[in-house]
């Protein structure tokens, strides 16, 4: 085993011990606090208070052994000894782990770049398609506008011809009915 693995193993052990101590204090801490508070406040405070002491049928606080019976017999040196994957990971050098992490980050960045480029190409394709459709629409609008102007000119011409024929018909004696 290398020096880095020993240090990381010692760090894991230290963390487990700190976790066990913190767990024990969080479970038994409140009960110890109230017990010592009663002891230090003294019996005189009970005699000077106006109310009688409270009678409580509360169960005693659970001990760490009752909550997790196997925790006391836990041997930190055996931690992960029978797990081949964990052993393999623990034996890797720190540099190897950093290299692996950088490679994973590089793969994620390449994947992100690929998706970003694909999205950009698709956006450009859609923009080009919309531009072509807009040009077609503009051309159709111009054609319609020209046709409308021609129809107005033809209508004005027809009105003039109709007025001319109506005037001739009236001159020849035609009357509106």
Distance, CA of 145 to CA of 23 (rounded, Å): 84
More confident residue, 46 or 152: 152
Q: Is 53 helix (H, G, I), strand (E, B) or coil?
A: coil
Token pair for 93: 């050098």
pLDDT of residue 75: 52
Asked if 27 contacts 67 with a C-beta cutoff of 8 angstroms, the reply is yes
Residues 137, 143: contact at Cβ < 8 Å? no
61 neighbors 27 (Cβ within 8 angstroms): yes
Listing DSSP states for 76-93 in one string gives: GGGTTTT-HHHHHHHHS-
In this predicted structure, what is the pLDDT of residue 144? 94
Is the model more confident about 62 or about 156? 156
Domain boundaries defined on the chain: 3-48+61-94, 101-177
Q: Give residue 51's pLDDT.
A: 64
pLDDT of residue 22: 86
pLDDT over 70 (residue 17): yes
Mean pLDDT confidence for 17-21: 88
Q: What is the pTM of this model?
A: 0.34
Distances (CA, A) of 86 to 36, 89, 90, 99: 44, 5, 6, 18
89, two tokens: 């990971």
- Cα within 13 Å of Cα(117), Cβ side: 6
Please answer whether residues 64 and 72 qualify as being in contact, where contact means their C-beta atoms are separated by less than 8 angstroms: yes
**Lowest-pLDDT range, 30-44, 45-59, 104-118?**
45-59
Tell me, what's the pLDDT at 8?
78
């Amino acid at each position: 085993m290398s020096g880095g693995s020993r240090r990381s193993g010692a760090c894991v052990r230290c963390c487990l011990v700190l976790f066990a101590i913190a767990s024990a204090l969080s479970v038994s801490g409140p009960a110890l606090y109230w017990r010592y508070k009663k002891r230090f406040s003294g019996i005189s405070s009970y005699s000077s208070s106006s109310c009688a002491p409270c009678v409580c049928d509360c169960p005693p606080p659970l001990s760490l052994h009752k909550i997790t019976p196997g925790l006391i017999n836990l041997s930190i040196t055996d931690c992960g000894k029978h797990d081949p994957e964990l052993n393999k990971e623990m034996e890797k050098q720190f540099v190897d782990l950093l290299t692996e992490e950088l490679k994973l980050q590089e793969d994620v960045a390449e994947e992100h770049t690929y998706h970003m480029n694909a999205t950009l190409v698709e956006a450009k394709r859609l923009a080009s398609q919309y531009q072509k459709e807009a040009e077609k629409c503009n051309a159709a609008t111009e054609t319609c506008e020209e046709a409308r102007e021609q129809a107005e000119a033809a209508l004005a011409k027809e009105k003039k011809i109709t007025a001319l024929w109506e005037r001739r018909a009236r001159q020849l004696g035609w009357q509106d009915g």
